[in-house]
């Protein structure tokens, strides 16, 4: 089936509201071709741009999150970290107009203030420039760690409690959620991880409670819209029970 037919078929089914992606394998992609790791990051960035454009034009996905830089990624060699930061700055700075043109709203989760100053500035500018856009919400996890996010929410809640504005009984899942970086953003319905790794690597530890996982061995710089459609097709065949019992099972127990 060609891409257009496949797309039409997917468009007729249930589309996840929030898709999150761990775009892994840039380094291995480059290594396999005898290239430097940064070539993998460059190609990976191009793939991300293509996918953002494809989704914003063709699919009613409302939120798309990319795990772009984790709190653990600072442990990489300085040169690689610097390259990733400048790539991000260029992506948002020089090509940020594309986001505006496609009505995309940009948001960031993670400790943006602790990014290098110039990168942090471009991130904040892009958030402001696109704040009124009503199309796809593109969320980048930048200097993001799931455990750090939970600790930072807890700190805010403790300070409310210390000020006498919150008691233990008042603490609910909703209140906790509203203090996470993802406040106001629904949990991902689908998580895609490339490069075959079967782990969450400190990503959205709270939010992934009932997310469907889709893992592919494909390395991120080789991930194209057709592979997204493959993931969505698989998602559409899943039975999300959220701890309950699926309808088919209920019927057979009743003898219907
Ligand atoms: C993912 O690719 C990109 C980032 C973490 C920024 P990697 O750089 O982790 O590539 P591999 O996993 O080493 O192949
Ligand atoms: C996860 O990939 C983080 C990002 C894609 C930004 P990593 O390559 O950093 O994760 P590990 O080391 O394989 O767990
Ligand atoms: Mg990796």
pLDDT digits (tens, 9 = 90+) for 115-128: 999 999 999 999 99
pLDDT tens per residue across span 139-178: 999 999 999 999 999 999 999 999 999 999 999 999 999 9
To test the pocket of ligand 1, the residue of 22, 23, 26, 72 to mutate (highest count of ligand atoms within 8 Å of its CB) is: 26
Task: Please list, in sequence order, all residues whose beta carbon lies within 8 angstroms of the beta carbon of residue 100, skipping any fewer than 6 positions away.
Answer: 129, 130, 133
pLDDT at residue 254 above 60?
no
d(CA 248, CA 224): 35
Q: Identify residues whose C-beta is under 5 A from ligand 3, the ion.
A: 24
How many angstroms does the Cα of residue 161 sit away from the middle of ligand 1? 40
Mutate to test the pocket of ligand 1, among 35, 40, 70, 82 (most ligand atoms within 8 A of CB): 40
Reported as a single tens digit per residue, the pLDDT across 174-222 is 999 999 999 999 999 999 999 999 999 999 999 999 999 999 999 999 9
Closest residue by Cα to atom 2, ligand 2, is: 24
The residues facing 213 across adjacent strands are: 191
Q: What is the mean pLDDT of residues 32-49?
A: 97
The pTM score is: 0.96
Q: Cβ neighbours of residue 190 under 8 Å, at least 6 residues apart?
A: 16, 18, 19, 20, 211, 212, 214, 231, 232, 235
Q: Which ligand is nearest to the CA of 37?
A: 1
pLDDT recorded at residue 246: 79
Position in ligand 1 atom list of the atom nearest CA 29: 14
Q: For residue 68, give the ligand 1 atom closest to its CA.
A: 6
Catalytic residue among 2, 24, 102, 239: 24
pLDDT above 50 (res 255): no
Work out the mean pLDDT of the chain and round it to a whole number.
95
Let me know if 24 is a catalytic residue.
Answer: yes
- For residue 253, the model assigns a pLDDT of 53
Q: Domain-by-domain residue ranges, the chain?
A: 13-241
pLDDT (mean) for 46-71: 97
CATH fold, domain 13-241, is Undecaprenyl pyrophosphate synthetase (3.40.1180)
Q: Flag whether pLDDT at 97 surpasses 80.
A: no
Output the ligand 2 site: residues, CB below 6 A. 22-24, 67-70, 73, 197, 199, 201
* Over residues 15-44, mean pLDDT: 98
The whole-number pLDDT of residue 7 equals: 98
**Which has the higher per-residue pLDDT, 63 or 96?**
63
> What does the pLDDT read at residue 252?
56
Q: Which of 73, 90, 102, 202 is flagged as catalytic?
A: 73
Active-site residue, 78 included: no
Q: Are 59 and 17 in contact (CB under 8 A)?
A: no
Atom of ligand 2 nearest to the CA of 23: 5
Instruction: Ligand 2, residue 199: give the atom nearest the CA.
Output: 14
pLDDT for res 256: 47
Q: Compute, in angstroms, the gap from residue 43 CA to the centroid of ligand 1.
A: 12
Beta strands in the chain (DSSP E): 18-22, 63-70, 105-109, 137-144, 190-193, 212-215
């Amino acid at each position: 089936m060609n891409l257009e037919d496949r797309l039409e078929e997917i468009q007729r089914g249930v589309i996840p509201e929030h898709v999150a992606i761990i775009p892994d394998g840039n380094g291995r992609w480059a290594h396999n071709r005898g290239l430097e790791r940064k070539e993998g990051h460059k190609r990976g960035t191009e793939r991300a741009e293509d996918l953002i454009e494809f989704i914003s034009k063709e699919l009613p996905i409302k939120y798309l999150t990319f795990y772009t830089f984790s709190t653990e990624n600072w442990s990489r060699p300085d040169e690689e970290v610097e390259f990733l930061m400048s790539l991000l700055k260029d992506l948002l700075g020089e090509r940020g107009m594309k986001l505006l043109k496609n009505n995309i709203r940009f948001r960031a989760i993670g400790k943006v203030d602790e990014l290098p100053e110039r990168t942090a500035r471009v991130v904040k500018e892009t958030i402001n420039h696109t704040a009124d856009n009503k199309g796809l919400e593109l969320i980048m996890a930048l200097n993001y760690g799931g455990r750090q996010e939970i600790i930072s929410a807890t700190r805010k809640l403790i300070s409310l409690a210390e000020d006498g504005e919150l008691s233990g009984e008042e603490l609910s899942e909703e209140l906790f959620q509203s203090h996470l970086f993802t406040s106001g953003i629904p949990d991902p319905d689908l998580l895609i991880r490339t490069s075959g790794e079967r782990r969450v690597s400190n990503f959205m530890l709270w939010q992934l409670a009932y997310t469907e996982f889709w893992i592919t061995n494909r390395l991120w710089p080789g991930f194209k819209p057709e592979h997204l459609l493959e993931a969505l097709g698989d998602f559409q065949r899943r039975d999300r029970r959220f701890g309950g019992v699926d309808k088919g099972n209920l019927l057979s127990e009743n003898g219907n």
